[in-house]
Structure formats: structure tokens, C-alpha cells
Amino acid sequence: MGVHRPTKRSPAAAAAAVLAVLLCLTACGTGKDAVADNGTFDFVSPGGKTDIFYDPPASRGKLGELSGPDLMTAGKTTSLDDFDGKAVVINLWGQWCGPCRGEADDLEQVYESTKDKGVAFLGINVRDPQQDKAQDFVTDNKVGYPSIYDPAMRTLIALGGNYPTSVIPSTLVLDKQHRVAAVFLRELLADDLRPVVERIAGEPQ
């Protein structure tokens, strides 16, 4: 029986393969990677990055319809459309999540310092089957902005089918046209978030 020997690549073919890999790595994390041609946000994993920015603004994708029951007020629906013309920070959180507790004060700091600059915050409470416990989280942490109550994560369809909903907390920053300008797949400090929010809120509409 003969021995199979792997075919050797020519130097030119090897160089082309290396170039293709380098081009792919260079593109990771850009808006072009994460936005569908029709202008709808379509998250694509950017090679393990946790901080993803979508620039220039023309490359950003817009979220689908995002609304659901208000966490704190029975019978009320809270929607992204409630914040027309404002930059919006969307935070996915759960009261069961240690890092969510860790970043709650930081998010509140940024909310308080930017709400008069055309910025709104919207939480999405996920995987909390007991609504009263999630409400206690809001009260105990003195959270001043609204949250959608979404234990089954149904409203997250608006974030696109590829969005990593297993990563909690995560935060999206939308520009004034509600296009996704930044995504953070980690716990945030106020100093991480504030400059990004202020920059995006300062963009012309």
C-alpha cells in the first residue's frame, strides 16, 4: 500500500492564504461585519471581541421593533419608540446575575449624567420568572430608568437571531436613529460607558 503524502502548496498559494486570514482579522469588529445589506442590524461574532463599535454611522444597522411589558408598572408597554430622536442605551440584565449587580451603580451614574443630553436608557430584564424579585433589584439599586420584563427573552428578536443572548449583562448603544453604534459584551464601569454615550449622543441626527 502506498503512503499518502500531503500536497505541498506553492509559495504563491501560501502567501495568498496568509493574506486572506489577515484581511479577515482586520475586518473583525467593524460595522460592515455586523450589518446586513438591507440596513437591519445583524450581529456577527467579531472574533472574541467584547467591545464592538460600528463606524462610520452609514454602516450601522437598525434594530427591529422592540417593546414589551414594563417591569414596574402593570398594564403598561415600554417600547424603544418611546425614545424617538434620542440616543438609547439598552442593557440586558437579570437580578440573578452577579455582574449585573456590579454594574448597576455605574449605569445609573451615566444615565443621570447624560439624560439631559438627549440620552435615554432602557433595561431588558431576562430569565427572571419571579417579577417581584426583579422589581426589588430596581428598587434596591435605585435604578431610575425603565425596563422591559422579558423572562422568556422574546423581545430580543429585535436584536437579530445571532445576538449572543447567553451573555448577560450586555449593553448596546444606539444613535439617535436607533442604529446600533456600539455593543459591550461584558460588565461596564461608568468610565467605560460615559465617553462612548456622549460621543454618540453628540453626533448630528
Residue 181 lies in a domain: yes
Q: Note the pLDDT of residue 51.
A: 96
- Total domains in the fold of the chain: 1
Residue 4 lies in a domain: no
Residue 171 lies in a domain: yes
- Give the CATH number, domain containing residue 68: 3.40.30.10
Residue 5 lies in a domain: no
Q: What is the pTM of this model?
A: 0.81
Residue 138 lies in a domain: yes
Block means of pLDDT (10 residues each) for the chain, length 205 residues? 42 37 29 42 83 93 94 98 97 98 98 98 97 98 98 91 90 97 97 98 92
The whole domain housing 48 covers 11-201
Residue 6 lies in a domain: no
Residue 140 lies in a domain: yes
Residue 147 lies in a domain: yes
User: For residue 124, how many other CB atoms are within 10 A of its CB?
Assistant: 26
Q: Note the pLDDT of residue 25.
A: 27
